Amino acid sequence: MGELRDKSVLKADIIAGITVALVLVPQSMAYAQLAGLPAYYGLYASFLPPMVAALFGSSRQLATGPVAMVSLMTATALAPIASQSGDGFLIYALILSLMVGVFQVALGLLRLGVLVDLLSHPVVVGFTNAGAIIIATSQLNKVLGVDKGAGDAHYESVYNTVLTALESTHMPTLYMSILALGIMIILKKYMPKVPNVLVAVVVTTVLAWYTGFSESGGKVVGNIPDGLPGLTIPTEFDMDIVMSLISYAIIISLVGFMEAIAIAKAMAVKTKQRLDANQELVGQGLSNLASGFFSGYPVSGSFSRSAVNINAGAVTGFSSVVTGIVVALTLLLLTPLLYHLPLATLASVIILAVANLVKFKPIVHAWKAEPHDGITAVITFLLTLYIAPHIEYGILVGVVLSIILFVIRFMRPRVAELSRYEDGTMRDIAVFPELEVSDKIALIRFDGSLFFANASYFEFKVLEVMANRPDLKYIILDAEGINQIDSSGEEVLSQVADRLTQNGVTLVVARMKRQFMQALRRTGLHEKMGEGNFFSRITYALDFVWDSLGDEYDRTTCPLRRLST
């Protein structure tokens, strides 16, 4: 952080750090409520983690702390424990954060950040949209001032909550929610530089105190322990419960880091800084360890606060250190002022924060780009909504489905028979059925690496061409799309060449890549098929075939002939 010697950089970082803290303090309390934890757990998770992530990560402007999606997954992980052990479940929030931290640090040190790529874009888009809807609807009872409706599934709970609200909505709570939302929306639109969340918190807290909101049945934050969180090392816990949290810890680790690295990459494009994904994993992991050891819960990089940080002029990670210091001062000096903060305000903060996450255009775009991706996104979205609160299964099914569809695509790559188009290029006759084909020569292109999963398919398609053309003498394989060939692919290629030879058809290969030819030379297949049957260009292969067919074959009428210019 040599830049801090520059007073202008130091000033910019201090201003940015304070600005982020003004957003983080109320947001963190809201997200802790979303996670099913006391509001002050959000403040604890906002004290050391931002500093640690900034000091040990690679991104200078990434703002780390409680975020909506990780808070929702934390709630999912802890809900069964909370129903069994009352307040005793709070210790498992710390343990979950420690588990997430250990997993992320291990991935970073082993340079396995590539595992995050298993979360494909369609899966993330589907899961994020569903998660945002689940988060927003989970706050309805707090906005309406009613008890949460019963139901095993989230949609049942929401339905029963609405039914309850029709009969017994607590009107002061509803008015407070509308006021908070109105303040945040109006300020965000007309006065974007004003910390709208902080203003809403201050106004509604003062109003709640002045009107006796809690005495009328409205729910408020209540007492927050004074002082900073101390070092906590969990010693008394049920090992069976800890083991049940492992799968949640892994999913939170991957989803949280994926969110963080996506934000960091977007900012790195603007700042032109170098970003190390594995170093960022270490930074995020250590921040989760710090959160776990100091009474917090799992954290990650925040979209909204990172945007505030970079827009406020943050240059180095010192801005996050300033943010942590401001949160510490809040815990030391300002907690009594938060007693009358309505939970309805925190619910409104959450709803507004996740509203921008609901975007269906990316799903439509994924469908247009590749229907399989669209299917993955839609299934992940619908399944996550249906099985909530067990949202971890939605993302797991999405990952498995995307991998299966990926494998299927590789098992059935495009095999195109080509013919000469009117502009002189070779085109797929399936796309241009008006193109003529030769009865003596077939030109086919295999668009994929030739390996064990698709070798049989390759064999079937080549032999199918031969079976459909009884007078065929030559098959030219355009191998430009074959990037790799494994032992299974090499064996099938050898068998295909033999089968064709037995039926009086010669296999000729054109436009081979170096790695393809190296494999054939190592196995001797190149020599077996004949040096003269391999050509660097399709033109050379056609010349060879036409010469071999002799004068009785009129190349001037061949559909594959070169057009005169």
pLDDT in tens, 61-99: 899 999 999 999 999 999 888 767 666 788 999 999 999
Confidence of residue 391 (pLDDT cuts 50, 70, 90): confident
Domain 414-557 carries which CATH code? Answer: 3.30.750.24
If phi > 0 it is left, if psi is from -120 to 50 it is alpha, else beta; for residue 65 that is: left
In terms of DSSP bridges, do strands 506-510 and 300-301 run parallel, antiparallel, or are they unpaired?
unpaired
Q: What is the mean pLDDT of residues 315-321?
A: 91
State pTM to two decimals.
0.83
SS3 (DSSP) at 37: coil
C-alpha to C-alpha distance for 308 and 69, rounded to whole angstroms: 19
Identify the pLDDT of residue 489: 94
Identify the pLDDT of residue 195: 86
Residue 200's CB is within 10 A of a number of other CB atoms, namely 24
Counting Cα atoms < 13 Å in the Cβ hemisphere of 195 gives: 20
- Structure confidence by residue, pLDDT tens digits, 45-57: 999 999 999 999 9
Taking every pair of Cα atoms in the chain, the longest distance, rounded to a whole number of angstroms, is 104
Strand partners, 445: 416, 478
Among 27-41, 112-126, 178-192, 377-391, the range scoring the smallest mean pLDDT is: 112-126
Q: Which of 564, 444, 461 is nearest to 511 (CA)?
A: 444
In which residue are the tokens 């002045």 written?
210
Does residue 394 surpass a pLDDT of 60? yes
Q: What are phi and psi of 171, to 5 degrees?
A: -60, -40
CATH 3.30.750.24 residue window(s) in the chain? 414-557
Mean pLDDT of the chain: 91
C-alpha to C-alpha distance for 97 and 74, rounded to whole angstroms: 9
Higher pLDDT, 267 or 549: 549
Identify the pLDDT of residue 277: 86
Q: What is the mean pLDDT of residues 463-470?
A: 93
Q: What are phi and psi of 447, to 5 degrees?
A: -95, 70
- Structure confidence by residue, pLDDT tens digits, 484-497: 999 999 999 999 99
- Structure confidence by residue, pLDDT tens digits, 201-221: 999 999 999 999 999 999 999
C-alpha to C-alpha distance for 495 and 525, rounded to whole angstroms: 10
Is the previous residue joined to 389 through a cis bond, with omega within 30 degrees of 0? yes
Identify the pLDDT of residue 2: 52
In which residue are the tokens 């874009």 written?
121
In terms of DSSP bridges, do strands 64-65 and 300-301 run parallel, antiparallel, or are they unpaired?
antiparallel
Identify the pLDDT of residue 165: 87
SS3 (DSSP) at 485: strand
Does residue 241 surpass a pLDDT of 50? yes
Identify the pLDDT of residue 35: 93
C-alpha to C-alpha distance for 230 and 293, rounded to whole angstroms: 8
Helix or strand (DSSP H, E) at 444? strand 441-447
C-alpha to C-alpha distance for 561 and 565, rounded to whole angstroms: 12
C-alpha to C-alpha distance for 267 and 16, rounded to whole angstroms: 15
Confidence of residue 409 (pLDDT cuts 50, 70, 90): confident
Does residue 331 surpass a pLDDT of 90? yes
In which residue are the tokens 């940015």 written?
16
| Structure-token pair, residue 126 | 């589907």
Q: What is the dihedral of CA 6, 8, 13, 16, to 10 degrees?
A: -170
- 3-state SS string over 332-363? HHHHHHHCCCEHHHHHHHHHHHHHCCCCCHHH
Does residue 552 surpass a pLDDT of 60? yes
Confidence of residue 136 (pLDDT cuts 50, 70, 90): very high
C-alpha to C-alpha distance for 313 and 518, rounded to whole angstroms: 54
- Structure confidence by residue, pLDDT tens digits, 138-194: 999 999 999 988 888 899 999 999 988 888 999 999 999 999 999 999 999 999 888
In terms of DSSP bridges, do strands 441-447 and 300-301 run parallel, antiparallel, or are they unpaired?
unpaired
If phi > 0 it is left, if psi is from -120 to 50 it is alpha, else beta; for residue 553 that is: beta
Identify the pLDDT of residue 410: 84
| Structure-token pair, residue 495 | 């068998």
C-alpha to C-alpha distance for 302 and 316, rounded to whole angstroms: 17
Q: Which of 228, 179, 230 is nearest to 334 (CA)?
A: 228
Confidence of residue 3 (pLDDT cuts 50, 70, 90): low
| Structure-token pair, residue 309 | 């940080």
Does residue 555 surpass a pLDDT of 90? no
Identify the pLDDT of residue 237: 86
Q: Which of 560, 561, 555, 510 is nearest to 532 (CA)?
A: 510
Identify the pLDDT of residue 565: 45
| Structure-token pair, residue 264 | 């960091």
> What is the DSSP annotation of 52-89?
HHHHHSS-SS--EE--HHHHHHHHHHHHHHHHHHGGGG
Q: What is the mean pLDDT of residues 20-43?
A: 93
Does residue 299 surpass a pLDDT of 80? yes
Q: What is the mean pLDDT of residues 307-319?
A: 88
Q: Which of 1, 9, 4 is nearest to 312 (CA)?
A: 9
Q: Which of 226, 178, 184, 225 is nearest to 202 (CA)?
A: 184
If phi > 0 it is left, if psi is from -120 to 50 it is alpha, else beta; for residue 36 that is: left
Does residue 450 surpass a pLDDT of 80? yes
Does residue 117 surpass a pLDDT of 90? no
Q: What are phi and psi of 463, to 5 degrees?
A: -70, -30
Helix or strand (DSSP H, E) at 105? helix 90-109
In terms of DSSP bridges, do strands 414-420 and 441-447 run parallel, antiparallel, or are they unpaired?
antiparallel
Q: Which of 166, 368, 155, 124 is nearest to 251 (CA)?
A: 124
